[in-house]
Amino acid sequence: MLSISRRSLYYQPVPPPPEEVAIKHRIDELYTAHPFYGSRKLTVLLAEEFGAINRKRVQRSMREMGIAGISPEPNLSKRALEHRVYPYLLRDVTAQAPHHSLSHHIRASSCGAGGLSPFPLKPFFQSHRLPPFLIKLSQMFCLGHR
């Protein structure tokens, strides 16, 4: 008459088994200590204490508890606007001979008298200012006498 089934009136939910409660408590402890652990790592750690445990079971428990591992957000590969952008030196260069774009002028003065740098510092066809990290790198790995 009321269009309600008797089963739904008399239903009493079954409490979760104690093992599941223990697993959820342990997941909460591990997640609090290491919030960057995801379901895979937590499954490995829980298997040491509770035996074989399925990763989907850990995922379900984490979803029910409303937790998720901290991971990098999308768009982290976007460039920082405050960083300087260095020009591409070979943009309008066409190779006239084999290894034309690979030939470089080796700047021996950066290593002192008689030393040569193994790093190509300055292409012979461009005269742009070099970034400071390249100059420092070539000075660190000078070949020859000091």
Give the span between the Cα atoms of 116 and 144, in whole angstroms. Answer: 6
Give the span between the Cα atoms of 57 and 38, in whole angstroms. Answer: 13
How much is the pLDDT for 52?
Answer: 92
How much is the pLDDT for 104?
Answer: 46
Give the span between the Cα atoms of 79 and 94, in whole angstroms. Answer: 29
Residue 125: closest CA among 142, 111, 143, 105: 105
Residue 71: closest CA among 34, 43, 45: 34
C-beta of residue 32 within 8 angstroms of C-beta of residue 62: no
pTM of the model: 0.48
Give the span between the Cα atoms of 91 and 128, in whole angstroms. Answer: 13
Mean pLDDT by 10 residues, the chain (146 residues): 80 93 96 94 95 95 94 79 83 76 45 51 49 65 51
How much is the pLDDT for 128?
Answer: 53
